[in-house]
Amino acid sequence: MHNFLPTAYLQGQFVPFKDANISIATHALHYGTGAFGGLRGLPDPNNPRQILLFRLDRHCQRLSQSAKFLHFDLPAAKIEQVITEFVQKNHPTVPFYIRPLVYTSDLGIAPRLHNIEKDFFVYGLELGDYLSPDGVTCRISSWYRQEDRSLPLRGKISGAYITSSLAKTEAVESGFDEAILMNSQGKVCEASGMNIFLIRNGQLITPSYDQDILEGITRASVITLAQDMGLTVIERQVDKSELFIADEVFLSGTAAKIAPIKQIENYHLPVEKPITQKLQAKLIAITENRDSDYQDWVFKIPL
């Protein structure tokens, strides 16, 4: 059961969430012609009159770029302004998740992006841990990640997530928590909605952008943190077999934050995960505004 925040933004105005409804004939519902974002927020532990949002500017920038694939000019500044006002109107008191989405709002039936109405909405819900911070189990999915030549993978296009949905359900129904997808070249790509990292010989390794991965904001943050900690970070192709013999493997994403992997298929990974835990602790401290070195990553919204 989800606890949705009481106010949503739809068709240019703030309305009660229960009244934020669209037609069953909405174009995007039929063709997946939407693009979404997602960001976390929480009340400032040291200031009850302030909400903290993690990397709001990067999230708004990425959604604005995703909208371009839909032929929709939606400035990042506009998204940021709406989200700020959305947070102030809802006044959340527990950790929460914000879902902004751009979509073709017309009621036509022809699959197209030209000469069609678009809209932008925002809603939110209370959200704790999406995946267990203590560790998850994964299987290698039988479904493959799409290629950028057939779908704009630099955007979070809603239609693309049929693959993620198939992979996630396949994993859960076969006894695992999460799926790891390969790309069309048979290289490790990402999880159903998260990027993936592995640690071997003290080096942090992750699939590079040319491996059809999502340009994750938490991924970029983890890379910066690791480099600042003095770790060597390598972005390259990753083979499946490397996952089985890695010292540590973890997932990263807005909802998942940093989630260590304890088992992949029938391979159990080492129990000790010192680098993952160090990155986990650092990221949590930053999001809770307890780390002065990364103040510009945390957006403070007064209530």
Using the CB atoms, write b or e for 235-272: b if 16+ within 10 Å. beebeeeebeebbbbbbbbbbbbbbbbbbbeeeebeee
Look up the CATH number of domain 136-286.
3.20.10.10
Section 72-101 average pLDDT: 97
Helices (H), 70-197: 76-90, 161-173
Is the pLDDT at 96 greater than 90? The verdict is yes
Per-residue pLDDT at 132: 81
Using the CB atoms, write b or e for 33-55: b if 16+ within 10 Å. bbbbbbbbbbbbeeeeeebbbbb
Do 204 and 234 meet the contact criterion of CB atoms below 8 Å apart?
Answer: yes
* Domain boundaries along the sequence of the chain: 7-126, 136-286
Per-residue pLDDT at 133: 77
Per-residue pLDDT at 1: 75
Per-residue pLDDT at 233: 98
Do 22 and 152 meet the contact criterion of CB atoms below 8 Å apart?
Answer: no
> Cα–Cα distances in Å, from 37 out to 31, 49, 126?
18, 25, 16
Q: State the amino acid at position 242 in one-letter form.
A: E
Architecture of the CATH domain 7-126: 2-Layer Sandwich (3.30)
Section 276-281 average pLDDT: 96
Query: Which tokens sit at 185?
Result: 């070249």
Per-residue pLDDT at 221: 97
Section 210-226 average pLDDT: 97
Q: Say how many Å lie between the first and final Cα of the chain, rounded.
A: 27
Section 91-111 average pLDDT: 96
Residue showing tokens 């409804």: 21
Per-residue pLDDT at 131: 81
pTM for the full predicted model: 0.95
Per-residue pLDDT at 42: 95
Is the pLDDT at 130 greater than 90? The verdict is no
Can you spell out the DSSP letters for 91-122? ---S-EEEEEEEEE-----S--SSS--EEEEE
Which residues, at least 6 apart from 248, have a Cβ–Cβ distance to it below 8 Å? 198, 199, 260, 269, 270, 273, 274, 275, 276
Section 61-90 average pLDDT: 98
Tell me how long the chain is.
303
279 band by pLDDT with thresholds 50, 70 and 90: very high
Give burial (CB, 10 Å; 0-12/13-18/19+) of 95.
middle
Do 7-126 and 136-286 have matching folds? no
Cα separation, 279 vs 114, in Å, equals 44
Cα separation, 22 vs 207, in Å, equals 38
The HSE-up count of residue 47 (CA atoms within 13 Å, CB side) is 12
Section 205-221 average pLDDT: 97
Q: State the amino acid at position 243 in one-letter form.
A: L
Q: State the amino acid at position 108 in one-letter form.
A: G
